[in-house]
Structure 1
Amino acid sequence: MHAREYTYSEKEFEDIQSNYNGKAEYCNGHVVLSSSTSIKHNEIITNLSFNLTSYLKGSKCKAYTESIEVIFRKDNEVYKFKPDVFVECEDASREGQSFTSAPKIVFEVISKSTASHDYITKLDIYQRFGVQEYNIVEQDGHIVQYTLTDGQYRISNTFKDNDTYVSTFFEGLKIKLEDIFE
C-alpha cells in the first residue's frame, strides 16, 4: 500500500508558513520546507545582496533576499518561492508584501536539502515565467548561469576560482567571485 500524496491549498500553506521557523515554499499544491541555513550560505547571500545593492544604487531596480516572497501564478498553477537573492524593478507587480512578477535575475545558493528543488523545479518555473537570468550558486565557489533565450534557458557561463561574475541582463554588472565567497 502506498501513502496517498496530499495536496495543500494556498490557505493551508499560509498556515504552515506562519507556524514554521524556516523557509517554506509552495509548489502548486506541494510544500517544500527547508530548515535554517548555514553560516556559509548566509554569508554568500549577504555578499551577493551587498554587491547587487551597490551596483543598482540610483537605478529603478533593487535587490531583495529570501525573506520576500515571489508568487508565480498562471491558469490553475501557483508557486510561492523565496529566492535567496533576486532583483525586481519599479515596474514589478505586487500583492501585499509579495511580488507577482518575475524577477529580472535570481541567485539560488544551493543547500544539500534543497538542491534538486533549485536545480530542477525552480529552473523550470523560472524559465516558464520569464526570469531573464538564473544563477545557481554552489557553496564551494562556483556559479552556473542560465540566460533566457527564445523562452528557453541556456547555460551562458560558469564561473569559478578567480573569475568575475558578469550579468547577461544588466550591462556592466560584474562581481569578483572572491567578493561573493570570501
Structure 2
Amino acid sequence: MALAKSSFISIEEFYKMRDNSESLLEYIDGVVYMTPSPSTKHQRVSSRLQIKLGLFVEGTSCEVFGAPYDIELKREDIEGTKIVIPDISVICDKSGFTEAKYIGVPALIVEILSPSNQSHDLITKLNLYMKYGVKEYWIVNPMLESVTVYTLNDEEMYEQYDMKAIRGEVKSKILDGFSIDLEYIYK
C-alpha cells in the first residue's frame, strides 16, 4: 500500500518519516509503501519456513533473516535506492552487512501474501527482485495454501520453477536439496 502515491520523496525524507513512525515502511523509486502487520497465520508460516531454512543453511556461508530487516537492494548497473523488508531473506554474500541493514542482493527472498498486499508482492516486488537479480523468489499464499517458486533463467527473467497447493513438497533450485512439505507449513 503506497503512502505517497502522487509525490515522490527523497531517501532523506524517507528516513525522517520512518524515524517518526511505528509502521514498517519500504522505499521504492521515491514512493513509500507501508507493510501491514502480519496475521497469526502469516507469522506461523513465516516461523516454520525460517526454522527449516535456517537448519538447512547451518554450516554454510548463507544466513536467514526474518522481517523486520531492511534490505537495500544494490547493483552497480542500477541507480536509485530501494529499501524493502522481505518476510524472509537468505543471504549468502556477507560483504553487504552493516549494523542496521543489508546492502546488496539476497540469494533467495520469500514473501508471504496478505489480503491487503497481494499486488505489491505479486507485481511490484516480483519485478523489482527480478531486475536486481534475486536468484530465487518464493511467493507463499496462506489463503490458497500454496507456494510458487520463481528462479532467474539465462535471460535474467523469472520463470516458475515449482508450485504446489494444499499438499506436496515444494523445492528450491538454488538451495540444492532443500524442500519443504506444504502440510508442515500450513498445519
TM-score by length of 1: 0.92
How many residues are matched?
A: 180
User: Deviation string for 1:2-55 (max 9, x for gaps)?
Assistant: xx8211111111122222223210011000012311111111111110110111
Counterpart-to-counterpart distance in 2, 1:153 and 1:57: 27
Are the counterparts in 2 of residues 93 and 101 from structure 1 also a CA contact under 8 Å?
yes
- Answering whether residue 82 of structure 2 is matched by residue 79 of structure 1, we say yes
SS in 2 for 1:178: helix
The residue number in structure 2 matching 1:43 is 44
Counterpart-to-counterpart distance in 1, 2:36 and 2:157: 31
Q: Which moved more, 1:74-83 or 1:90-99?
A: 90-99
- Answering whether residue 129 of structure 2 is matched by residue 126 of structure 1, we say yes
- Answering whether residue 157 of structure 2 is matched by residue 156 of structure 1, we say no
Are the counterparts in 2 of residues 71 and 79 from structure 1 also a CA contact under 8 Å?
yes
RMSD of Structure 2 on Structure 1 (CA) = 1.7
Structure 1: where are the runs of 5+ without partners? none
Counterpart-to-counterpart distance in 2, 1:21 and 1:113: 18
SS in 2 for 1:113: coil
Are the counterparts in 2 of residues 21 and 35 from structure 1 also a CA contact under 8 Å?
no
The residue number in structure 1 matching 2:177 is 172
SS in 2 for 1:49: helix
Which among 107, 110, 113 is matched to residue 110 of structure 2? 107
Q: Which amino acid aligns with 2:25?
A: A
User: Deviation string for 1:130-156 (max 9, x for gaps)?
Assistant: 111101110131011111012110011
Q: Which moved more, 1:89-98 or 1:100-109?
A: 89-98
- Answering whether residue 104 of structure 2 is matched by residue 97 of structure 1, we say no
Counterpart-to-counterpart distance in 2, 1:23 and 1:91: 24
The residue number in structure 2 matching 1:32 is 33
Q: Which moved more, 1:89-98 or 1:145-154?
A: 89-98
Structure 2: where are the runs of 5+ without partners? none
Which among 133, 137, 142 is matched to residue 140 of structure 2? 137
SS in 2 for 1:131: coil
The residue number in structure 2 matching 1:67 is 68
Q: Which amino acid aligns with 1:129?
A: Y
Against the structure 1 CA distance between its residues 90 and 72, is the aligned structure 2 distance closer, same or farther, given a 3 Å change threshold?
closer
Counterpart-to-counterpart distance in 2, 1:34 and 1:91: 26
Are the counterparts in 2 of residues 34 and 113 from structure 1 also a CA contact under 8 Å?
no
